[in-house]
């Protein structure tokens, strides 16, 4: 069955990625689907690439006027000023863990009759996400962690000069300007996952010494004093159920620790499943650092929730390659799309 896909603009600051590349759109068109692409000025993928493959072009933000049978495809948050949503939306909604404002967002879908097909909950039979930016999130998160481990307190001013990096080589060269020949000690938890693999690859290229932990090492439950013996801790575990955190304020009290920097790639500060409950709000490209309070030695956290946007071209193409097949053979009645829709219906049953 053919579908109508509308690739919308992103409205989140410092976002340049697109959920679908021109190559994926071409495959959708070849499969008989309709594809509209919005003319978004910050897109890392040039509009001409979409035009060349035959996509219809519409103004940015015009999806709100589209007929209800269009499937709206994006990545990050929808505009807050829209009172109701009538479409099916494919994006990262961040509402199913009862994050701040989750009921308000779902109420807008109840009011408009729309549905969410949350990319985070498109899961296979092993309950593993089929589409993820994880590798590049881990890669960028580790790079920024290494950078801020050795940058002075004004180091973030250098970062603000970069809306994004054109490729990973440019990012690594940026980090090396500060790190130089320093090869710090880093611990990665979640090292066997997508983001863990990305973090490990980055720190390996920077020639850091790495302690890689995953489920086996953390099965006893945190917090873990071993983390404190490293210069950098990279958290790559996005918890799906509440469990003891990896670090907390108690373990940091009166400790003569080595740890200088935490890069929380998972970045889940407003959830009860935050594995690094030392902060309560994500950091940003403009203000990338949070200093942990009430500790003897200076300790900072970076927790930017759209890390792959700093490598937008590589991460967009990688993600689109993962997503395209589920749109080409679109079926809400089976597979990952059904799983995601089931999560939506379950969440909707919780709102009054």
- 301 vs 343: CA distance, rounded Å: 31
Q: Which residues are catalytic?
A: 76, 94
Task: Please tell me the distance from the alpha carbon of residue 142 to that of residue 234, in angstroms, as a whole number.
Answer: 6
Q: Which residue has the tokens 């995601």?
A: 340
- Rg of the chain (C-alpha set): 21
d(CA 70, CA 61): 14
Phi and psi angles of residue 201, each rounded to the nearest 5 degrees, phi first: -60, -40
Q: Please state whether beta strands 209-213 and 185-189 pair in parallel, antiparallel, or not at all (unpaired).
A: parallel
Rounded distance between C-alpha atoms, residue 145 and residue 137, angstroms: 12
Cα–Cα distance between 33 and 26 in angstroms, integer? 10
Q: How far is 164 from 312, CA to CA, in rounded Å?
A: 7
The per-residue b/e assignment along 131-149, b for 16 or more CB within 10 angstroms, e otherwise, is bbbbbbbbbbbbbbbbbbb
Phi, psi angle pair for 155, to nearest 5°: -60, -30
Q: Integer distance in angstroms from the first to the last C-alpha of the chain?
A: 35
Strands 115-118 and 185-189: unpaired
Residue 112: alpha-carbon gap to chain centroid: 27
Which ranges constitute the DSSP H helices of the chain? Answer: 22-30, 47-52, 102-112, 134-150, 155-160, 168-179, 194-205, 215-218, 249-252, 312-328, 335-348
């Amino acid at each position: 069955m053919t579908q109508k896909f509308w690739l919308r603009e992103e409205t989140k600051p410092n976002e340049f990625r697109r959920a679908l590349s021109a190559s994926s759109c071409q495959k959708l068109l070849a499969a008989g689907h309709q594809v509209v692409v919005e003319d978004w000025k910050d897109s890392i993928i040039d509009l001409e690439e979409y035009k060349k493959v035959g996509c219809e072009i519409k103004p940015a933000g015009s999806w709100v006027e589209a007929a209800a049978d269009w499937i709206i495809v994006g990545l990050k948050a929808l505009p807050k000023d829209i009172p109701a949503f009538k479409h099916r939306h494919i994006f990262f909604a961040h509402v199913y863990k009862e994050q701040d404002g989750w009921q308000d967002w779902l109420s807008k879908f109840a009011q408009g009759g729309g549905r969410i097909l949350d990319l985070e909950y498109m899961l296979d039979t092993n309950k593993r996400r089929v589409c993820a930016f994880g590798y590049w999130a881990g890669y960028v998160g580790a790079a920024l962690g290494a950078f801020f481990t050795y940058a002075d307190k004004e180091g973030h001013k250098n970062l603000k000069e970069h809306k994004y990096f054109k490729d990973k080589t440019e990012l690594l060269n940026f980090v090396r300007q500060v790190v130089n020949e320093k090869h710090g000690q880093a611990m990665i938890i979640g090292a066997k996952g997508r983001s863990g693999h990305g973090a490990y690859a980055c720190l390996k290229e920077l020639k850091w010494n790495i302690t890689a932990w995953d489920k086996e090492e953390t099965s006893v439950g945190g917090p873990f004093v071993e983390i404190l013996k490293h210069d950098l801790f990279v958290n790559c575990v996005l918890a799906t159920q509440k469990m003891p955190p990896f670090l907390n304020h108690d373990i940091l009290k009166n400790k003569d620790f080595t740890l200088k920097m935490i890069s929380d790639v998972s970045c889940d500060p407003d959830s009860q499943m935050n594995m690094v409950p030392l902060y309560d709000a994500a950091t940003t490209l403009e203000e990338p650092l949070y200093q942990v309070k009430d500790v003897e030695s200076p300790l900072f956290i970076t927790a930017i929730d759209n890390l792959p946007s700093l490598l937008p071209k590589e991460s967009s193409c990688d993600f689109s390659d993962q997503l395209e097949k589920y749109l080409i053979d679109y079926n809400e009645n089976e597979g990952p799309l059904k799983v995601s829709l089931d999560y939506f219906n379950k969440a909707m049953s919780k709102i009054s």
